[in-house]
Amino acid sequence: MTAELGQIALILALCLTIAQAVFGLVGAARGWDNWMAVVRPATVGQAGFVVLAFLLLASAFLANDFSVQYVAMNSNSQLPTLYRVAAVWGAHEGSMLLWATILALWSCAVALLSRSLPLAFASRVLAVLGIISAGILLFILLTSNPFIRLVPAPFDGNDLNPLLQDPALAMHPPILYTGYVGFAVAFAFACAAMIEGRLDQAWARWTRPWTTVAWLFLTIGITLGSWWAYYELGWGGWWMWDPVENASFMPWLAGTALIHSLAVTEKRGLFRSWTLLLALFAFSLSLLGTFLVRSGIIVSVHAFASDPLRGVFILGLLALFILGALTLYAWRAGQLRSSAGFELWSRESFLLFNNILLVIAASLILLGTLYPLLLALMKLGTISVGPPYFQLVFLIPVIPLVTLLIVGMHAAWKRARLAPVKRRLVSIALAGVIAAVLLSLTFGGRPRTLVFVGLALAVAAMLSALSVPFDHLRRRVTIPRGVLGMSVAHFGVGLFTLGATVASAYQVERDVSLGMGQSANVAGYDFRLTDLRSVEGPNYAAREADVVITDAGGRVVTVLHPQKRVYRVQQQPMTEAGINVSWRRDLFVALGEDLGNGVWSLRLQYKPLIRYLWLGSLCMALGGLIAATDRRYRIALARERVDTDTVAERA
């Protein structure tokens, strides 16, 4: 019964989203309060039904109901309970349902927390969210229904892809989608403002916390994905510039530009039409990312062609949402132009350049990601664009971006007044250069300009970010959360740059073949293979090695236990790397394969400071969290509530 109930719940949710959209738009346009009053209950109702459908699918997984095709394809009676829950979003149909569920939860949150907004505006925001929900639910029901029955039901399921049987990857999709889909709220706020033809600083203040929260989830999601790729794909890379990764990174870049541009719009009322455009871009790129990953077009253009309905449907939705929003923009943006001016070395300028650089980075990555797909679709040959392109087009904007960040944090709004902070900036720059010299000497090797620049910028960014709260302390003024959040996030940028630069420049990687008792040396550490044995997991069998690592002084650092697993159902081999973590470096061992005669191939790696790049990303997310909880948003909400109440009394 669960599958049928799930199906019915989705259909009811679809009906309610249509009500949400129609009553919201028409009610707000005509000023009919009784129509607008329907919007909030409809939103909460549809969210309830979508969540119900999601829970029903999860219960089918927990009950091992293999008569449901999706469950049979992605689960197994031997699968541990945690991964049975994660298997709900382990493949296409369930991922789309997760997408819809998260959108429903965001819509529900907007419905419940928007009581302070003018009723017409809130109705329009919810109506736009309703249109998006309706599109996605229609897509699920028509092309990707997870509730289809399988007759006859198989005795056992096909198991979850072994790559996905991992705690970090179990959490990765929900967190990533919370970020992706969260930009739908900023998109809806932008569309509502354009329909109304009114965009003031209050609008930016409403939009900002929502956007920041979405952005911080996206940041954590991408970080988890990178961390997972590092240890679970088995080969120690943390970013491959794979189209799937780019699909999540492009909305992040646009979202980062958006939160910076919103700051200017809120504080100074500037960049209005640009902020709107960025809100549209951020969500459009999220949708594009969903399309790229979910249509199968990346794995192979033929996978796209073999199930054209799905791909064409998402492409249609994409076109509808993006073209619809851009048409609205073309029609309305002219009325929203801002008039105030600012000087060249003011904070506005720095944020303007930040936006330009982020948008350039996003566009160049978009070009590199889509170009091979376009060529393949037009049958002009099969090519791939390699990591060197992405590395370069990412570095070109990022070096000036971090430089601007170091200075821009101390620039004043509106006026060019950098003179008072000149001494501080000079000492930060000096400290950065000295630290870069010391770090280069510590890690040794051939000096390289780019590495040196990276190190100096990283340290200077961290110091510059730290100096902001210290300055407040020294002057004995309380630091607003918004400023503290900015400082923490920018410290994270520095930490990330440090980790990424050092890990890329000074890593050592060796493929070796080792017999029992033999050893190999990597970066001064001695890796010795001492034992090999068979171990049994709940749904896999594995060969496990003992690798004893000793440092240059002959002291034992650690014993690592890398595994080569074979999952029973799918008979797929999987590499579980052994990793020793410390604040200075990671030591990484992956088992390759049995070369015969007890000799195995192994990949040994030394990755200095690699932890800092994930730590830095988490700092950025933490900064977002601190900034989003700034009191001024709550005070603003409370004040507006009083205003609307008095208006209501008068009316």
Partner 1 sequence: MTPRRKRLTAVILVLAGVSVAAVLALRAFRDSVVLYYTPTELVAGKANGKRAVRLGGMVTKGSIVRQPGSLALKFEVTDFVRTVTVHYSGVLPDLFREGQGVVVHGSLKNGEFMADEVLAKHDEKYMPPNMAGKMPPPPGA
Site residues, partner 1 (CB under 8 A): 163, 233-235, 299-302, 306, 341, 343-344, 349, 353, 356, 360, 364, 367-368, 371, 376, 381-389, 392-393, 396-397, 400, 511-513, 570, 572-575, 590, 592-593, 595-596, 599, 601-603
Nearest to partner 1 of 152, 596 (CB atom): 596
CB of 595 to partner 1, least distance (A): 6
Nearest to partner 1 of 185, 577 (CB atom): 577
Place of tokens 């009610």: 27
What's the CA gap between 117 and 188, in Å, rounded? 14
Helix (H) or strand (E) holding 346: none
CB of 370 to partner 1, least distance (A): 12
What's the CA gap between 235 and 605, in Å, rounded? 9
CB of 343 to partner 1, least distance (A): 7
* Bridge partners, residue 149, by sequence: 68
CB of 598 to partner 1, least distance (A): 12
What's the CA gap between 19 and 38, in Å, rounded? 8
What's the CA gap between 292 and 247, in Å, rounded? 7
Among the listed residues 154, 142, 163, 11, the one whose alpha carbon sits nearest the alpha carbon of residue 91: 163
CB of 162 to partner 1, least distance (A): 9
- One-letter amino acid at 152 equals P
Are 295 and 319 within 8 A, CB to CB? no
Torsion of CA 247, 248, 251, 253, to 10 degrees: -110
CB of 21 to partner 1, least distance (A): 37
What's the CA gap between 23 and 397, in Å, rounded? 45
Cα Dmax for the chain: 90
Nearest to partner 1 of 32, 371 (CB atom): 371
CB of 412 to partner 1, least distance (A): 16
Helix (H) or strand (E) holding 496: helix 481-506
* Bridge partners, residue 575, by sequence: 564
- Residue 302: count other Cβ atoms within 10 Å of its Cβ: 10
Nearest to partner 1 of 299, 450 (CB atom): 299
CB of 574 to partner 1, least distance (A): 6
Nearest to partner 1 of 465, 602 (CB atom): 602
Q: Would strands 578-581 and 525-536 be described as parallel, antiparallel, or unpaired?
A: unpaired
Nearest to partner 1 of 59, 338 (CB atom): 338
CB of 230 to partner 1, least distance (A): 14
DSSP per-residue string spanning 15-68 = HHHHHHHHHHHHHHHHT-HHHHHHHHHHHHHHHHHHHHHHHHHHHHHHTT-TTB
Nearest to partner 1 of 580, 601 (CB atom): 601
What's the CA gap between 276 and 284, in Å, rounded? 12
Nearest to partner 1 of 185, 229 (CB atom): 229
Place of tokens 């030591």: 587
Nearest to partner 1 of 182, 234 (CB atom): 234
CB of 8 to partner 1, least distance (A): 33
What's the CA gap between 434 and 349, in Å, rounded? 29
* Bridge partners, residue 558, by sequence: 549
Nearest to partner 1 of 300, 427 (CB atom): 300
Among the listed residues 167, 168, 175, 172, the one whose alpha carbon sits nearest the alpha carbon of residue 81: 167
Nearest to partner 1 of 164, 436 (CB atom): 164
CB of 40 to partner 1, least distance (A): 43
Nearest to partner 1 of 67, 570 (CB atom): 570
Q: Is the dihedral of CA 248, 242, 523, 454 positive or negative?
A: negative
Q: Phi, psi at residue 591, to the nearest 5°?
A: -80, 130
- One-letter amino acid at 596 equals G
Which residues have a Cβ under 8 Å from the Cβ of 393 and sit 6 or more positions away? 361, 364, 365, 368
CB of 513 to partner 1, least distance (A): 5
24-63 in b/e form (b: 16+ CB < 10 A) is: bbebbeeeeeebbebbbebbbbbbbbbbbbbebbbebbee
Are 362 and 285 within 8 A, CB to CB? yes
Nearest to partner 1 of 163, 171 (CB atom): 163
- Residue 319: count other Cβ atoms within 10 Å of its Cβ: 11
* Bridge partners, residue 572, by sequence: 567
CB of 300 to partner 1, least distance (A): 6
CB of 226 to partner 1, least distance (A): 16
Query: 99 vs 105, 279, 284, 286, 403, CA distance in Å?
Result: 10, 19, 15, 11, 37
Helices (H), 523-630: 611-628
Nearest to partner 1 of 465, 514 (CB atom): 514
Are 43 and 108 within 8 A, CB to CB? yes
CB of 232 to partner 1, least distance (A): 10
CB of 586 to partner 1, least distance (A): 18
Nearest to partner 1 of 531, 594 (CB atom): 594
Nearest to partner 1 of 34, 597 (CB atom): 597
Q: Is the dihedral of CA 630, 635, 636, 637 positive or negative?
A: positive
